[in-house]
Amino acid sequence: ESVTEKGKFVSLSFFRDEAAVEAWRNTIEHRRTQAKGRARIFENYRLRVASVIRDYGLNERDQAPKDSRVAHEPH
């Protein structure tokens, strides 16, 4: 639950591909949990399904844009 917005939740999941998403989405346990969430927890929700454009961190900079690497690398 968000510390700044009471009652707001964020969930983040990563899947290998669309087939993996479909397999997870259609498991009996997921469907049961989904029904419980709709009935008892959430009055509204939003899903965003997206692809990763870049994936980098503080020390793993291979996919960082060139301008970001230049701006943040030691000189």
Question: Over the stretch 13-50, which tens digit does the pLDDT of each residue have?
Answer: 999 999 999 999 999 999 999 999 999 988 899 999 99
Nearest to 73 by CA among 29, 64, 42, 53: 64
pTM across the whole model: 0.64
Write out the two tokens for 65: 């844009």
C-alpha 1: how far from chain center = 15
Is pLDDT at 75 greater than 70 in this prediction? no
What is the C-alpha end-to-end distance of the chain, expressed in Å? 41
Please classify residue 21 by burial: count the beta carbons closer than 10 Å to its beta carbon, then call 0-12 exposed, 13-18 middle and 19+ buried. middle
Q: Cα–Cα distance between 14 and 40 in angstroms, integer?
A: 25
